[in-house]
Amino acid sequence: MDIGVVELSRLQFAMTALYHFLFVPLTLGLSVLIAIMETVYVMTGRPIWRQMTKFWGTLFGINFAMGVATGVVMEFQFGMNWSYYSHYVGDIFGAPLALEGLMAFFLEATFVGLWFFGWDRLSKQAHLVVAWLVAIGSNFSALWILIANGWMQHPVGAEFNPLTMRMELTSFYEVMFNTVAQAKFVHTVSAGYVTASIFVLGVSSWYLLQGRHLALARRSITVASSFGLAAALSVVVLGDESGYDTGLNQKMKLAAIEAMWETEPAPAPFTMIGIPDQQARETKWAIHIPYAMGLIGTRSLTEEIPGINQLEQEAAERIRSGLVAYDALMTIQQDREATDAGVVATFEQHSDDLGYALLLRRYLDDPREASEEQIAQAAEDTIPHVWPIFWAFRIMVGLGMLFIATTGYFFVTTSFRGGRYPKWALRFAVLLIPAPWIAAEMGWIVAEYGRQPWTVDGVLPTALSVSALSVTELLLTLAAFATFYTVLFVIEIKLLLKYIRKGPVDDVQLTDDWDAKHRARLSPAEVRQ
Amino acid sequence: MILHEFLSFEVLRLIWWLILGVLLIGFALTDGFDMGAAALLPFVAKTDTERRVVINTMGPVWEGNQVWFILGGGAIFAAFPPLYAISFSGFYLAMFVILSALIFRPVAFKFRSKREDPKWRSRWDNVLVFSGATPALLFGVAVGNVMLGVPFHLTPDLHAIYEGGAFGKLFGLLRPFAILCGVVSLAMLVMHGAGWLVLKTEGAIAARARLYGSRAALVVLAGYALAGIWLAVGIDSFAYVTPPAPDGPSNPLAWQVVHGGSWLAAYGERPWIVIAPLLGFIGTAMAWRALRSGGELSPLGWSKLGIFGMISSVGLTIFPFLLPSNTHPDSSLSVWTATSSHQTLFVMLVATAIFLPMIMAYTAWVYKVLWGKVTEDQVTDPDSHSY
């Protein structure tokens, strides 16, 4: 196993996934926000809502194109860079991916074209249905992708088949209704709604500060703040649900998030901040909140949460058990037809730990020849890098709280204070625009970097999952991706800014009676234009 | 769950082989015309407005069309994981070139007309031509390589090892027969794209499309015939020493394969498959005629038939093989040795049986709504929503 290939494959996947994930949350949320705006348009018949729908739709389109472009890369990377992974778990993992195409992406992609080109060809109602189909399609896409990802975090409904040397599906129902997948889905989709809401809120605030497109901006803030507040609250609640599931299923990830080296007596405290030191296995300058971790991780005050050191010991045990399974598997492999029942029984008894034995493949071809040091090393490998996960988690949670506060503030001001937003609040909302993306990327790091050294938790180590490629091929494609993506990113941002500056094409604000009625309440800056 | 035992493993494998064909043909018939028309862009459209007309014929539909490709990939992943794993990692750099085309195509469509600058526009036009022509060519090259066999082997724990260095693997694909297949594939999609433009445009653009499309159809006829002769005289086929168990575990290494003999032997064993190449020739010839002097819908219709025939002929000729290995024939992948488990195939079949007809129905509806020519007046109307 060439470690260079493993590291480069991981880097490439992380880069392309994080990049794809810049466009996904906005697509998820904006498709719904636009459908809501168009619904108001169809119900009230007021042109301003049509203008809003079209304006945000233009920005949606620019973003959507990038989402599609980078999404295609994701699907094909599994086969290109992770071919042993694809062979090993394709029987289970391929299904939700194909279903995403079949049920969701086809819907979204077929109707997104009609949505843009169909304004004059469809009745208002039919066009609205198309808008909702696009929104439903993009949200269903997320569902299937997260079912696939959820299975990697918590592999259920599958077992190893020694004859085909791969995992095979035993229950599609379990894969689909995997609790981890469901919690991740709602968490991620809500995060997308927050992203779009903060984006709409920020851009609209900028218009208000500039005194332009007031009617559009004010109504957009109304929609974005109320929708955004509901979404921001659900992100936190469902993030907590995700934390609980992690506590049940990925104890090492939870311990890393918490930088909890030793098992604490229940209920464990939550470390607010601190500096995790992986070498010394301690967290310096830690500030604790008593009981909180116990509540998040176990929903009780009496259950213990195991620390990293204890989990490492358990991993060593599982490696030894996995070696028994591996030995039996090799016997089965040698004589496929006439293996005696005892060997098969031994294999089945230990097959849950087979993945742990595969951790040793990083060091030697036949894990059965591993020395005690190598076993200890492989057990230590099960500890992810703590500090990035620890900090990514805290940044994500902190930003989440900030989104609740911001959308809450705008919601209250819109509903009860007649929309008299002070300048500082508008400026803050503009500055906040990039924050949801930071939070989303941090979330990805916690979930995926925190899963290492596994591609499929406890089943298949990352180091074993790669394709038999050369470093040259990987460096070449890595450089090309980096170049393409940088160029496209610059173009995308420029175009978005151009269209935001330009504003809606047909400005209907002066003909709209809403302004006339509410003009008295507008600030002097707004009335000026 | 015992529901899946309604259909035997053997039948399911066969059905999935057919579905794979449906998806790949669906991709060629829908996104194929987008790629062909994009490749034709500078030839059929001279002015900026003409180019916008061509781009807007595809504007509302290419996104949906491209999903056939994505779904094809997803279906190979779900139903034939070994094929997915070995072909995409084996054709690594070639796949990367195709991916680059697919990365740039959406943005080229979306971004091209968003600025007035002619330099900006011509740059994106070039990107569109690349994004249409390159995949069309490379898919054909890939098919040619599949028929020739590719150099890979499987280790006992089914790691796929593809022989050759980074560039050896890429340029090794460019064997003469494979290049011929690439040319046929490119010409086929150009013909198809021309058929689309005849239907969706008028005047000078449509006339040029007829001209270039009919030339492409002649290339297809000649190239396809040549490939057939080449197969008969110069290319070795693959065969099982003893037929594999159609319901056995998906492990290619359990069966022995020999390299030698002729692919055309398949026409002796299953004479009815001759219908596929016949349809390929008839459809293409009729498309040529219709492009020269036919109605507006007939060129696209006939070229669909031709493409259907040609792609089917490849699948039927090499059946049951999917991806043979010319260095280690025993590692060759076939319908009987490289699928997902019985249960996965069943679950996926149920989903496909429900959703594929729905997809076809709503796609048809969208095309109906968008029916009609794209004109210069439409794209220059400031109130329009065109690219």
pLDDT, one tens digit per residue, over A392-409 is 998 998 999 999 999 999
Write down the pLDDT at residue A338. 63
> What residues of B are in contact with residue A84 (Cβ under 8 Å)?
85, 159-160
Q: Tally DSSP H helices, then E strands, for chain A.
A: 20, 6
Residue-range domain boundaries for chain A:
3-250+386-505, 264-298, 308-381
A331: Cβ–Cβ under 8 A, 6 or more apart, which residues? Answer: A339, A343
Report how far residue B39's alpha carbon sits from residue B34's, in angstroms, rounded to the nearest whole number: 8
Write down the pLDDT at residue B148. 94
Interface mutation target, options A2, A51, A68, chain B, most CBs of B under 10 Å: A68
Nearest CA distance, B166 vs chain A (angstrom): 6
The pair of structure tokens assigned to A306 is 């195991």
Cβ contact, residue pair A110, B64, below 8 Å = yes
> What residues of A are in contact with residue B356 (Cβ under 8 Å)?
102
Interface mutation target, options B4, B61, B68, B110, chain A, most CBs of A under 10 Å: B110
CB A77 within 8 A of CB A13: yes
Cβ contact, residue pair B370, A122, below 8 Å = no
* 3-state secondary structure at position B162: strand
Cβ contact, residue pair B341, A491, below 8 Å = no
CB A463 within 8 A of CB A1: yes
The pair of structure tokens assigned to B261 is 């003999």
> What residues of A are in contact with residue B249 (Cβ under 8 Å)?
161, 163-164
| Percent of chain B surpassing pLDDT 90 | 73
Residue with tokens 């609790």: A179
Containing A487, the helix (H) or strand (E) segment is helix A471-502
Nearest CA distance, A120 vs chain B (angstrom): 9
Write down the pLDDT at residue A355. 87
Q: Enter the ipTM.
A: 0.90
Cβ contact, residue pair B102, A69, below 8 Å = yes
**CA B120, B121, B122, B123 torsion-angle sign:** positive
Cβ contact, residue pair B89, A112, below 8 Å = no
> What residues of A are in contact with residue B88 (Cβ under 8 Å)?
76, 78-80, 83, 86
- Nearest CA to A360 out of A330, A313, A311, A326 is that of A326
Cβ contact, residue pair A69, B71, below 8 Å = no
Q: What is the dihedral of CA A252, A257, A262, A263, to 10 degrees?
A: -70
Write down the pLDDT at residue A528. 41
> What residues of A are in contact with residue B343 (Cβ under 8 Å)?
168-170, 172
Dump the DSSP string for A254-312. Answer: HHHHHT--SPBPSSPPEEEEEEEETTTTEEEEEEEETTHHHHHHHSSSS--B--HHHHH
Report how far residue A53's alpha carbon sits from residue A39's, in angstroms, rounded to the nearest whole number: 9
| Predicted confidence (pLDDT) at residue B93 exceeds the cutoff of 80 | yes
What is the rounded average pLDDT of the residues B293-321? 94
| Predicted confidence (pLDDT) at residue B217 exceeds the cutoff of 90 | yes
> What residues of A are in contact with residue B64 (Cβ under 8 Å)?
106, 109-111, 113
> What residues of B are in contact with residue A498 (Cβ under 8 Å)?
114
Interface mutation target, options B12, B13, B83, B88, chain A, most CBs of A under 10 Å: B88
pLDDT tens profile B22-58: 999 999 999 999 999 999 999 999 999 999 999 999 9
Containing B200, the helix (H) or strand (E) segment is helix B176-200
Write down the pLDDT at residue A507. 52
Write down the pLDDT at residue B10. 92
Other Cβ atoms within 10 Å of B114 Cβ, number: 18
Q: Give the one of A107, A119, A468 whose C-beta lies nearest to B159's C-beta.
A: A468
Q: Give the one of A65, A83, A84 whose C-beta lies nearest to B106's C-beta.
A: A65
A384 DSSP assignment: P
Cβ contact, residue pair A76, B59, below 8 Å = no
Report how far residue A363's alpha carbon sits from residue A377's, in angstroms, rounded to the nearest whole number: 9
Give the nearest chain B residue to A465 (CA atoms): B159
CB-count exposure of residue A513 (10 Å: 0-12, 13-18, 19+): exposed
Write down the pLDDT at residue B157. 87
Longest dimension (CA), chain A: 90
Cβ contact, residue pair A76, B88, below 8 Å = yes
The pair of structure tokens assigned to A63 is 């973003």
Report how far residue B356's alpha carbon sits from residue A101's, in angstroms, rounded to the nearest whole number: 10
Low-confidence residues of chain A: pLDDT under 50: 1, 509-511, 526-529
Write down the pLDDT at residue B288. 96
Write down the pLDDT at residue A529. 38
> What residues of A are in contact with residue B385 (Cβ under 8 Å)?
116-117, 119
Nearest CA distance, A115 vs chain B (angstrom): 8
Report how far residue B295's alpha carbon sits from residue B197's, in angstroms, rounded to the nearest whole number: 12
A505 DSSP assignment: S
Write down the pLDDT at residue A277. 81
Report how far residue A361's alpha carbon sits from residue A464's, in angstroms, rounded to the nearest whole number: 7
Write down the pLDDT at residue A370. 83
Write down the pLDDT at residue A511. 47
Cβ contact, residue pair A109, B64, below 8 Å = yes
